[in-house]
Amino acid sequence: KNEVEQSPQNLTAQEGEFITINCSYSVGISALHWLQQHPGGGIVSLFMLSSGKKKHGRLIATINIQEKHSSLHITASHPRDSAVYICAVQGAQKLVFGQGTRLTINP
């Protein structure tokens, strides 16, 4: 079993829909990161969480430390949100990445 599991692996939605991507992990962590990667592009850090909830524009990230679970939400989704979203957990020595969720938003 992977240390970090994301779901769903692929998600297609219509513009305007509310999007949720989930991340579960099985190891102790000091922080959890949500990252965005566009096709052929670099990686952008969206959020770093160690507890609670953070909001940036239309993006919201939450984490439940007891349940070892985090969610990334996108409100009023737009085609430019189409990308791979990656959850990464930070332990003592390294980041461990989930496999990513490929999100496609159709106009």
Interface residue list for other proteins (CB under 8 A): 30-31, 33, 35, 41-45, 48, 50, 86, 88, 90-100
Nearest CB to other proteins, comparing residues 32 and 74:
32
Nearest CB to other proteins, comparing residues 3 and 17:
3
HEC profile of 24-73: EECCCCCEEEEEEECCCCCEEEEEEECCEEEEECCEEEEEECCCCEEEEE
Q: Which residues contact 91 (CB under 8 A, 6 or more apart)?
A: 27, 28, 29, 30
Nearest CB to other proteins, comparing residues 37 and 62:
37
Nearest CB to other proteins, comparing residues 48 and 60:
48
Closest approach of Cβ 88 to other proteins, in Å? 8
Closest approach of Cβ 84 to other proteins, in Å? 9
81 residue type, one letter: D
Distance CA 104, CA 13 (A): 6
Closest approach of Cβ 48 to other proteins, in Å? 5
